[in-house]
Structures are given as structure tokens and as C-alpha cells.
Amino acid sequence: MQDGPIRRTVKATALGVFHLNLWADRARRAALGERPYRLGGACRRCAACCEAPAVRVHALVWLAPLLRRSFLWWQEKVNGFVLVDARRRERTFVFRCTHFDRATRSCDSYASRPGMCRDYPRALLYQASPELLPGCGYRPLARNAAALKRALDARPLSAEQRERLARQLYLE
Ligand code: SF4
Ligand code: SF4
């Protein structure tokens, strides 16, 4: 169901908080020397990221019943995410998004979509081997891709070896 004015206002406020948290978290990671991959490619609007939105939560949210219930209540009542699975090992909740129209593969409330939808797949760029959804038009790019590529070019490698290494090292 499309967002009305009240839900749009609540979500706009939540989006501000989301961006603030994101900024603080990424500044902390940068201060600790974490260097994520760069984001290459572009969104193809395939909507694969709308099929089963998933959120990894803090251990407290996972374990404390009140926090867990509040989190899931917010996801359902505000974001329109209905819980379909809870993966204990990854502390991840998987949802069905009620804004997603599978026939047209579109979002009925795109302008007020949550921050996590806007941010995908940037959070994955902190992983050692980012696994983006199959078909996603984005791709991780190594920060020093140009220098590594030059180093590969200077080696006596076959085209096949060069291609495989470039793929494994996220050079293109
Ligand atoms: S809110 Fe919109 S963009 Fe986000 S998962 Fe649902 S359909 Fe996709
Ligand atoms: S999966 Fe990737 S390409 Fe597809 S809509 Fe989401 S961000 Fe865009």
C-alpha cells in the first residue's frame, strides 16, 4: 500500500537519523583504517534487492525481546516489511516488502523508501569478498585497481590468467 502523508513524514525523519548513523559509522571505520571497495557499475533497476530485503541487527536487538519486537513492529508498520525469516547464525531478519509489486517489479512508494534501500549495496563493500545479488548492476572495485592492473600487465600471464586474476581481485 502506498505511503500516505503521515508515513512519509515519519519515514523522512527516520531517513535523516539513518544517514546520520551511517555517516558516524563510516567515519569510525575510516578512523580505524577500514578501506571499503569502491562502488563500480550502476543500478539497472532490476529490483533484485526488493525481492527479500534483509537486515542484520545488533546482538541486543536480536536477543532482547522488547527491542526485537519494537524493531519488527517498526519494520512492519512503518517500512511495510513483513517478517518471513530469521537467520540466527547471521542475526539477520528477512522480509517481504509490501511496497514491491512483483508484476511490474516496481516500488509503490519509491520517494519514501527506507535508507537501507537507498544504500544498497554500499554496506557490502566492507566485506572481504562482497557478494552482491545476482544480476545487480553494481560491482565492487579495488581501491588500487589501476596500479594492480599495471602490475598484472607487466607479468607474463596468459589472457585467461589475467582475466581470472582481474576478476578475483576486483579490478574491473
Ligand atoms: S520499499 Fe521500495 S525500494 Fe525498498 S524494498 Fe520495498 S519496494 Fe524495494
Ligand atoms: S539489485 Fe542492484 S541493480 Fe538491481 S535494483 Fe538493486 S541496486 Fe539496482
At 126-168, the pLDDT tens digits run: 999 999 999 999 999 999 888 988 888 888 888 899 989 998 8
Is the pLDDT at 14 greater than 90? The verdict is yes
Query: Mean pLDDT over residues 121-130, rounded?
Result: 94
Nearest ligand by distance to the CA of 46: 2
> Atom 2 (ligand 1): residue with closest C-alpha?
107
Query: Mean pLDDT over residues 86-100, rounded?
Result: 97
Partner residues linked to 140 by β-bridges: 39
> Ramachandran region of residue 87, left (φ > 0), alpha (ψ -120 to 50) or beta?
beta
Name the pTM for this structure: 0.88
For 17-65, write each residue's pLDDT tens digit: 999 999 999 999 999 999 999 999 999 999 999 999 999 999 999 999 9
* Of residues 137, 118, 123, 122, the one with CA closest to residue 42: 137
> Atom 1 (ligand 1): residue with closest C-alpha?
113
- Kindly state if the Cβ of 155 falls inside 6 Å of ligand 2: no
47 Cα: distance to centroid of ligand 2 (angstroms): 5
> Atom 8 (ligand 1): residue with closest C-alpha?
50
56 Cα: distance to centroid of ligand 2 (angstroms): 19
Which range, of 3-7, 40-44, 168-172, averages the lowest pLDDT? 168-172
- Kindly state if the Cβ of 138 falls inside 6 Å of ligand 2: yes
The angle subtended at Cα 68 by Cα 120 and Cα 125, nearest 5°, is: 20
Residue pair 80/98 in contact by the 8 Å Cβ criterion: yes
50 Cα: distance to centroid of ligand 2 (angstroms): 8
Residue 70: the pLDDT is 98
Query: Mean pLDDT over residues 93-106, rounded?
Result: 97
Count Cβ atoms below 10 Å from residue 75 Cβ, excluding itself: 19
Based on its alpha-carbon atoms, the radius of gyration of the chain, rounded to whole angstroms, reads: 19
Query: Mean pLDDT over residues 2-29, rounded?
Result: 97
- Own/partner long-range contacts of 50-53 (Cβ < 8 Å, ≥24 apart): 50/97, 50/99, 50/100, 50/105, 50/107, 50/117, 51/100, 52/84, 52/94, 52/95, 52/96, 53/81, 53/94, 53/95, 53/97, 53/116, 53/117
